[in-house]
Amino acid sequence: MLDSFVANQPLWLLCVILLVSLVVFEFLGRVLRQFLRRRAGAGTDAAADGIDYLLSSVFALLGLLIAFTFGMALDRYESRRDLVVQEANAIGTAHIRTAFAAEPMQSQLRDQLEAYAKTRLAYGQAAFHDKPPLAAESERQRAVLASLGIAATQSVASAPMGPAVMASVNEVIDVGSTREAINLAKVPTSVVAMLVGYALISAFVLGYSQAIPSLVQRIGNGLLFLLLTLSLVTIFDLDRPATGTIKVSQQPLVDLIAGFKK
Give CA–CA dist 150/155, Å, rounded: 9
Is the pLDDT confidence value at 22 over 70? Answer: yes
Judged against a pLDDT cut of 90, whether residue 18 lies above it is answered with: yes
Classify residue 36 by burial, with Cβ atoms within 10 Å: 0-12, 13-18, 19+: middle
Q: Report the chain's C-alpha Rg in angstroms.
A: 27
**pTM confidence score:** 0.80
* Confidence check: pLDDT of 209 > 70: yes
| Cβ atoms of 149 and 109 closer than 8 Å | yes
Dist. CA 227–CA 220, nearest whole Å: 11
Distance of alpha carbon 204 from alpha carbon 137, whole angstroms: 49
Is the predicted pLDDT of residue 24 greater than 60, yes or no?
Answer: yes
Classify residue 41 as left (phi > 0), alpha (psi -120 to 50) or beta. Answer: left
Q: What is the pLDDT of residue 94?
A: 94
Residue 127 near residue 10, CB atoms below 8 Å: no
> pLDDT for 144-202, tens place per residue?
999 999 998 888 877 677 788 899 999 999 999 999 998 877 788 888 889 999 999 99
Query: Distance between CA atoms of 35 and 30, rounded to whole angstroms?
Result: 9
Residue-level pLDDT at 242 = 64
Distance CA 55, CA 217 (A): 14
Given pLDDT bands bounded at 50, 70 and 90, which one contains residue 66? very high
Check residue 9 and give its pLDDT: 78
Mean pLDDT, range 208-224, rounded to an integer: 85
Q: C-alpha distances in angstroms, 165 versus 88, 93, 110, 149?
A: 16, 9, 11, 7
Please give the pLDDT value at position 241. 66
Q: Is there a cis peptide before residue 252, judged by omega within 30 degrees of 0?
A: no
